[in-house]
Chains A and B, each alone.
Chain A
Amino acid sequence: DGGITQSPKYLFRKEGQNVTLSCEQNLNHDAMYWYRQDPGQGLRLIYYSQIVNDFQKGDIAEGYSVSREKKESFPLTVTSAQKNPTAFYLCASSRLNNEQFFGPGTRLTVL
Protein backbone atom coordinates (compact mmCIF):
# COMPACT_ATOMS: atom_id res chain seq x y z
CA ASP A 1 0.00 0.00 0.00
CA GLY A 2 1.97 3.01 -1.28
CA GLY A 3 1.70 6.45 0.18
CA ILE A 4 2.89 9.09 2.58
CA THR A 5 2.48 8.73 6.31
CA GLN A 6 2.79 11.44 8.92
CA SER A 7 2.86 10.90 12.65
CA PRO A 8 1.49 11.75 15.03
CA LYS A 9 -1.86 13.07 13.82
CA TYR A 10 -2.16 15.41 16.81
CA LEU A 11 0.74 16.78 18.84
CA PHE A 12 0.80 18.99 21.89
CA ARG A 13 3.89 20.81 23.05
CA LYS A 14 4.76 23.14 25.87
CA GLU A 15 6.35 26.46 25.03
CA GLY A 16 10.13 26.26 24.86
CA GLN A 17 10.25 22.61 23.79
CA ASN A 18 11.50 21.26 20.49
CA VAL A 19 9.32 18.70 18.75
CA THR A 20 9.89 16.47 15.72
CA LEU A 21 7.23 15.59 13.17
CA SER A 22 7.67 12.40 11.18
CA CYS A 23 7.15 11.98 7.43
CA GLU A 24 7.73 8.73 5.57
CA GLN A 25 7.01 7.80 1.95
CA ASN A 26 7.25 4.48 0.10
CA LEU A 27 6.60 5.92 -3.35
CA ASN A 28 10.31 6.01 -4.24
CA HIS A 29 10.04 9.77 -4.79
CA ASP A 30 13.23 11.81 -4.90
CA ALA A 31 11.75 15.08 -3.64
CA MET A 32 10.07 15.76 -0.31
CA TYR A 33 8.53 18.93 1.14
CA TRP A 34 7.19 20.42 4.35
CA TYR A 35 4.38 22.97 4.36
CA ARG A 36 2.62 24.91 7.06
CA GLN A 37 -1.10 25.68 6.82
CA ASP A 38 -2.86 28.32 8.90
CA PRO A 39 -6.63 28.97 8.90
CA GLY A 40 -7.79 30.89 5.85
CA GLN A 41 -4.40 30.72 4.17
CA GLY A 42 -2.84 28.61 1.52
CA LEU A 43 0.15 26.39 2.16
CA ARG A 44 3.53 27.95 2.78
CA LEU A 45 6.75 26.07 2.07
CA ILE A 46 9.07 25.50 5.02
CA TYR A 47 11.80 23.25 3.55
CA TYR A 48 12.25 20.92 0.63
CA SER A 49 14.74 18.27 -0.40
CA GLN A 50 15.43 16.94 -3.87
CA ILE A 51 18.04 14.37 -2.92
CA VAL A 52 19.34 12.55 0.12
CA ASN A 53 21.61 14.64 2.38
CA ASP A 54 20.58 17.89 0.72
CA PHE A 55 17.74 20.33 1.44
CA GLN A 56 16.80 23.95 0.81
CA LYS A 57 14.94 26.58 2.79
CA GLY A 58 11.48 27.57 1.68
CA ASP A 59 9.67 30.81 2.39
CA ILE A 60 9.29 30.38 6.16
CA ALA A 61 12.24 28.26 7.34
CA GLU A 62 13.07 30.30 10.45
CA GLY A 63 12.54 28.28 13.62
CA TYR A 64 12.47 24.94 11.78
CA SER A 65 15.09 22.34 10.89
CA VAL A 66 15.06 19.19 8.76
CA SER A 67 17.25 16.24 7.83
CA ARG A 68 17.24 13.86 4.86
CA GLU A 69 19.39 10.88 5.79
CA LYS A 70 17.21 8.40 3.90
CA LYS A 71 15.26 8.76 0.67
CA GLU A 72 12.00 7.72 2.30
CA SER A 73 12.19 9.94 5.40
CA PHE A 74 12.12 13.72 5.91
CA PRO A 75 11.53 14.65 9.57
CA LEU A 76 10.78 18.23 10.57
CA THR A 77 11.84 19.69 13.92
CA VAL A 78 9.94 22.67 15.23
CA THR A 79 12.34 24.44 17.54
CA SER A 80 11.68 26.76 20.44
CA ALA A 81 12.82 29.61 18.18
CA GLN A 82 9.62 29.33 16.13
CA LYS A 83 7.48 32.18 17.47
CA ASN A 84 4.05 30.84 16.52
CA PRO A 85 4.25 27.10 15.91
CA THR A 86 0.58 26.18 16.35
CA ALA A 87 -0.52 25.09 12.86
CA PHE A 88 -1.35 22.17 10.59
CA TYR A 89 1.80 20.70 9.03
CA LEU A 90 1.71 18.86 5.72
CA CYS A 91 4.41 16.73 4.18
CA ALA A 92 4.51 15.99 0.45
CA SER A 93 6.67 14.09 -2.00
CA SER A 94 7.10 13.95 -5.75
CA ARG A 95 9.19 12.62 -8.56
CA LEU A 96 11.38 15.46 -9.80
CA ASN A 97 9.34 17.97 -11.84
CA ASN A 98 6.05 16.18 -11.24
CA GLU A 99 3.00 16.87 -9.11
CA GLN A 100 3.24 16.57 -5.36
CA PHE A 101 1.43 13.98 -3.27
CA PHE A 102 0.46 14.89 0.28
CA GLY A 103 0.35 13.10 3.58
CA PRO A 104 -2.60 13.36 6.00
CA GLY A 105 -1.00 16.09 8.11
CA THR A 106 -0.04 16.69 11.74
CA ARG A 107 -1.84 19.26 13.86
CA LEU A 108 0.57 20.85 16.32
CA THR A 109 -0.74 22.81 19.29
CA VAL A 110 1.52 24.71 21.65
CA LEU A 111 0.10 24.97 25.15
Chain B
Amino acid sequence: AQSVTQLDSHVSVSEGTPVLLRCNYSSSYSPSLFWYVQHPNKGLQLLLKYTSAATLVKGINGFEAEFKKSETSFHLTKPSAHMSDAAEYFCVVSLYNNNDMRFGAGTRLTVKP
Protein backbone atom coordinates (compact mmCIF):
# COMPACT_ATOMS: atom_id res chain seq x y z
CA ALA B 1 0.00 0.00 0.00
CA GLN B 2 1.17 3.50 -0.67
CA SER B 3 1.81 6.05 2.04
CA VAL B 4 3.49 9.40 2.49
CA THR B 5 5.54 10.89 5.31
CA GLN B 6 6.09 14.59 5.74
CA LEU B 7 9.27 14.84 7.74
CA ASP B 8 8.58 18.18 9.43
CA SER B 9 5.34 19.15 11.13
CA HIS B 10 6.42 22.80 11.28
CA VAL B 11 8.94 24.83 9.28
CA SER B 12 9.79 28.45 10.01
CA VAL B 13 11.70 30.67 7.58
CA SER B 14 12.39 34.37 7.19
CA GLU B 15 10.88 36.29 4.30
CA GLY B 16 13.17 36.17 1.28
CA THR B 17 14.97 32.96 2.30
CA PRO B 18 14.55 29.54 0.64
CA VAL B 19 11.80 27.11 1.57
CA LEU B 20 12.26 23.34 1.78
CA LEU B 21 9.36 21.08 2.77
CA ARG B 22 10.29 17.41 2.83
CA CYS B 23 8.17 14.47 1.72
CA ASN B 24 9.02 10.77 1.42
CA TYR B 25 6.65 8.28 -0.12
CA SER B 26 6.20 4.55 -0.12
CA SER B 27 4.75 2.83 -3.15
CA SER B 28 5.16 -0.50 -4.89
CA TYR B 29 4.67 1.00 -8.31
CA SER B 30 5.22 4.32 -10.00
CA PRO B 31 3.03 6.75 -8.10
CA SER B 32 1.45 10.07 -8.91
CA LEU B 33 2.52 12.71 -6.41
CA PHE B 34 0.98 16.05 -5.52
CA TRP B 35 1.54 19.04 -3.28
CA TYR B 36 -1.49 20.96 -2.03
CA VAL B 37 -1.59 24.16 0.03
CA GLN B 38 -4.26 25.07 2.57
CA HIS B 39 -4.73 28.51 4.08
CA PRO B 40 -6.57 28.69 7.45
CA ASN B 41 -10.19 27.54 7.27
CA LYS B 42 -10.00 27.14 3.49
CA GLY B 43 -10.05 24.25 1.07
CA LEU B 44 -6.95 22.78 -0.52
CA GLN B 45 -5.37 24.24 -3.65
CA LEU B 46 -3.19 22.20 -5.99
CA LEU B 47 0.38 23.55 -6.16
CA LEU B 48 1.87 20.98 -8.52
CA LYS B 49 1.73 17.34 -9.58
CA TYR B 50 4.09 14.64 -10.82
CA THR B 51 2.70 11.96 -13.13
CA SER B 52 5.77 10.20 -14.60
CA ALA B 53 6.83 12.92 -17.00
CA ALA B 54 9.66 15.34 -16.13
CA THR B 55 11.13 14.69 -12.67
CA LEU B 56 11.40 18.41 -11.90
CA VAL B 57 7.92 19.80 -11.65
CA LYS B 58 7.13 23.50 -11.60
CA GLY B 59 3.99 24.70 -9.90
CA ILE B 60 2.18 27.89 -9.07
CA ASN B 61 3.53 30.77 -6.97
CA GLY B 62 7.17 29.90 -7.69
CA PHE B 63 7.12 26.46 -6.05
CA GLU B 64 8.73 23.40 -7.57
CA ALA B 65 9.37 19.81 -6.55
CA GLU B 66 11.75 17.11 -7.71
CA PHE B 67 10.80 13.45 -7.93
CA LYS B 68 13.74 11.27 -6.85
CA LYS B 69 12.91 7.61 -7.26
CA SER B 70 16.16 6.39 -5.70
CA GLU B 71 15.41 8.35 -2.53
CA THR B 72 11.60 7.92 -2.71
CA SER B 73 11.32 11.65 -2.12
CA PHE B 74 9.29 14.52 -3.50
CA HIS B 75 10.49 17.61 -1.64
CA LEU B 76 8.87 21.00 -2.24
CA THR B 77 11.09 24.06 -2.66
CA LYS B 78 10.86 27.77 -3.33
CA PRO B 79 13.88 30.06 -3.74
CA SER B 80 12.47 33.00 -1.79
CA ALA B 81 9.64 32.88 0.76
CA HIS B 82 6.89 35.46 0.79
CA MET B 83 4.63 36.30 3.70
CA SER B 84 1.65 35.00 1.72
CA ASP B 85 3.25 31.54 1.61
CA ALA B 86 2.42 30.98 5.28
CA ALA B 87 0.00 28.04 5.22
CA GLU B 88 -0.32 24.27 5.69
CA TYR B 89 1.20 22.13 2.94
CA PHE B 90 0.19 18.55 2.17
CA CYS B 91 2.12 15.96 0.20
CA VAL B 92 -0.14 13.38 -1.45
CA VAL B 93 0.53 10.07 -3.18
CA SER B 94 -1.84 8.07 -5.33
CA LEU B 95 -1.60 4.78 -7.13
CA TYR B 96 -3.42 3.41 -10.17
CA ASN B 97 -5.97 6.19 -10.06
CA ASN B 98 -6.57 9.33 -8.13
CA ASN B 99 -9.57 7.92 -6.28
CA ASP B 100 -7.17 6.52 -3.70
CA MET B 101 -5.09 9.46 -2.56
CA ARG B 102 -3.06 9.23 0.64
CA PHE B 103 -2.35 12.49 2.43
CA GLY B 104 0.61 13.29 4.61
CA ALA B 105 -0.04 14.83 8.03
CA GLY B 106 0.90 18.26 6.72
CA THR B 107 3.69 20.79 7.29
CA ARG B 108 2.84 24.18 8.68
CA LEU B 109 4.99 26.88 7.12
CA THR B 110 5.56 30.07 9.08
CA VAL B 111 7.20 33.06 7.37
CA LYS B 112 8.79 35.67 9.62
CA PRO B 113 9.17 39.29 8.47
Mark A residues whose CB is within 8 Å of B: 4, 6, 31, 33, 40-45, 48, 50, 88, 90, 92, 94, 96-105, 107
Q: Identify which of B44, B49, B97 contacts A90 (C-beta below 8 A).
A: B44
Give CA–CA (A42, B106) in the complex, Å.
6
Q: Identify which of B42, B49, B99, B103 contacts A48 (C-beta below 8 A).
A: B99
Mark B residues whose CB is within 8 Å of A: 9, 34, 36, 41-46, 49, 90, 97-99, 101, 103-106
Q: Which residue of chain B has its CB nearest to the CB of A56?
A: B99
Is the CB–CB distance between A90 and B43 below 8 Å? Answer: yes
Give CA–CA (A96, B45) in the complex, Å.
18
Q: Identify which of A4, A50, A88, A105 contacts B99 (C-beta below 8 A).
A: A50
Total of A-B residue pairs, C-beta within 8 Å: 50
Is the CB–CB distance between B103 and A102 below 8 Å? Answer: no
Known: A43-B44, A96-B97, A100-B101. 16 other contacts (CB 8 A): A31-B99, A40-B9, A42-B104, A43-B103, A92-B44, A94-B98, A96-B99, A99-B34, A99-B46, A99-B49, A100-B98, A101-B46, A102-B36, A102-B43, A104-B42, A105-B41
Is the CB–CB distance between A40 and B45 below 8 Å? Answer: no
Q: How far, in Å, is A94 (CB) from chain B's closest CB?
A: 6
